[in-house]
Structure 1
Amino acid sequence: MTNPEGRGRGRAGRILMLASLLCLALGALLAWQAQAQQNERNALLMTIDGAIGPAINDYFQRGLEHAQTREAELVVVKMDTPGGLDASMRAMISTMLGSRVPVAIYVSPAGARAASAGTYLLYASHVAAMAPATHLGSATPVQLGGGGGLPGLGEPEPPANDGAPAGDDTQGDGEGASPPDGENAAAGADESTKRRGNTAMERKVLEDAVAYIRSLAKRHGRNADWAEQAVREAVNLTAREALERNVVDVVARDLDDLLTQIDGRQVVMEDGERTLATAGLTIERFDPGWRTKLLAVITDPNVAYFLMIIGFYGLIFELANPGSLVPGTIGIISLLLALFAFQVLPVNYAGLALILVGLGLIVGEALVPSFGILGIGGIVAFVIGSVMLMDADTLNISLPMIGGIALVAAGLMLWVVTRFIGLRRRTPRTGQEELVGSQARALEDFSGYGHVRLRGERWNARSSQPLTRGQAVRVTAVDGLTLEVEPLDTAS
């Protein structure tokens, strides 16, 4: 006779053993996959498309950290940029120079450029590469206004030799070697012909930029003389010209061609030279995520500017209508986002102060009517401050947007002024002034002082003309509890 209880315990034991075997097999499979991924040699591919700013800097640093965690052999950055912020560019270069993973900057696809800050990044990279039909250069620091700018260098003089710097036809080694004799008569130009800047501040910023890019060129053995020309004269080179002048290391058709050409190449790292082994690398993409996209949106100067306007008016509406909550909530969130963006953007604080003063004067026009004086002054301060707000050439506020907001503010101010003028012309509806012009009837015959009935009430009255009982009269003035009246036919 079988024991049901024993059969149940045996079945449970078999199920437990089967589950244990499955767990062991799953653990072994995961360990094998992890080991395979660790043994797999890979290169991390990043993409920079647009102006260099805080969002790109954050994305670049997170990408290098991810590459170091994955022990990648190489980081390839496909870049197409018109330039950007000096602070973000220098932070990216510092991170790149201290990275344990080599970084290859690849200006791609065809038609892309590495202008301004992109030229510095290309010179700082361990491998500088370009695709055909791309170009680099125009590295002169330019600002629209405010401290530390180079307003005098915003329109650089056209360089000689169709954009190529004079005397730079050599395959330079980064140490400023001279070209062969007779190849270019302008090669021996005197130092005094170099652009130095018009003011002390311009010279200070320009010389700092020149020294910075020359140090990057010498670190990686690239053409330092052309780098200086790119800063001083804003010259440009195509991909083929850059390769011939030792500005870049490789001109590659695509990513596979790039990895093939740089295989076995020696690069200068922080801890010494290293030989690249890029053949057969597996490409792992590290694309910008939602964090980078959100930061890019918030730190766009036009968006930050609009958030500031919304935040300011939201708080004003909340203070004017306490308890409405919606304007205040939207306003405080928008204002905080705008302040975060201004913290990392090149904000001219004089321009920001003018904007706030202008908005305050426009609001003041609605609260303290001055028949347009406060409003006009506010609009003028607002427009001037908006133009001055952003210092960087590549991160300025759209002039049509400034004009549109100024027109809306002017329309609001005009509406407020016309409303106040209309209110002044309307007859009073409360108080003693409201009685002037009202009709009453005499309660008795009198000449001088008597009584009249006005709206069911008995009033003392004074008239310079004789009145008869029941005669219609018109109130001309109010003196305390006495009405000044006159016959209605005389008033008409």
Structure 2
Amino acid sequence: TISAHVAAMSPGTNIGAAHPVGSGGEDVKGVMGEKVTNDTAALARAQATLRGRDPQTAALIVTKSESFSPEEALKKRAIDFLAPGLDSLLKQLDGRKVSLPNDVTLTFDTKGFDADSVVRVDMSMKQKVLHMIADPNISALLITLGGLALYAEISSGFSLLVPGIFGLFCLLIGFVSLQTIPVNVGGALLFALGFALLGAEIFVTSYGLLTLAALASLFLGGLFLVDPASSDMRVSLGLLIPLVAGVGLCLGLLGFLIVRDRRRGGAGVSTSDQVVGATARVQSVDADGLTGRAYANGELWFFDSDSPLQVGDEAYVRSLRNVRLQLSSRRT
């Protein structure tokens, strides 16, 4: 309020008690407390002088935590006038001049306006999200949950997917909320994570889970791509929502066509007659060496083998059972 171009108060309110405290409301003691208090008091005096208000009153609000009623604040020149309501505020603003940087002077012209003419500007969705997660308690919870989720994913041998994705989201948003990562950097990382998840969907059978996570990551990345505190520009929801929805529809259509082609036994999927008797090359094996994945006819299949195999081995397809190759190290 002290630094505002125009400062007004309504009856029944108060101003003051601005002594610096810690993030949890605790006192800042010792030399650090003195430094923070003196620095804040100097800033308050400078702002009060700049706006033509009493610098000593501004300093007392910081150093002594003094608080004033509207009448006291007006008397001590901490504010410019009293305004019981919006109509009174607009009336007193009319004709008032304020100085802006670069020797620019602005004159308020509010004549003929009333409370019904006021346009209220609410927070954007991005600002609402950032406001919600800015609470240090929320940040700590997000980072803790993210760490535990990643631990669960690593412990499972990266086979669960859900904890890993959830953990990455929580950690990124948690670090953004603590400003450890700038908002726009966090948005860019979420965008990158979204595209990485889309790429992973090609190689990992997630039944659409990675795609859904990628779409959510792209949406959040678009929201955070521009820091609202440093710029009025932002990615429009009118663009972001159709963009993410369009990507989702395209991927859904592609998945539908692939599934339909597989069910019809299309040219892209080998039939039993085509794959039985073919040579398969092992691409990955499980711990027992009897199961894993192998390429046959240019396609990647799960397999069961009658003898242990290693990556790179070639085996022969004896049969196809439940969409799994039955391999043998010898041709039968």
What is the TM-score with the length of structure 1 in the denominator? 0.34
Bigger relative contact order, structure 1 or 2, given CA contacts below 8 A and separation 6+?
1
What is the TM-score with the length of structure 2 in the denominator? 0.49
Larger radius of gyration: 1
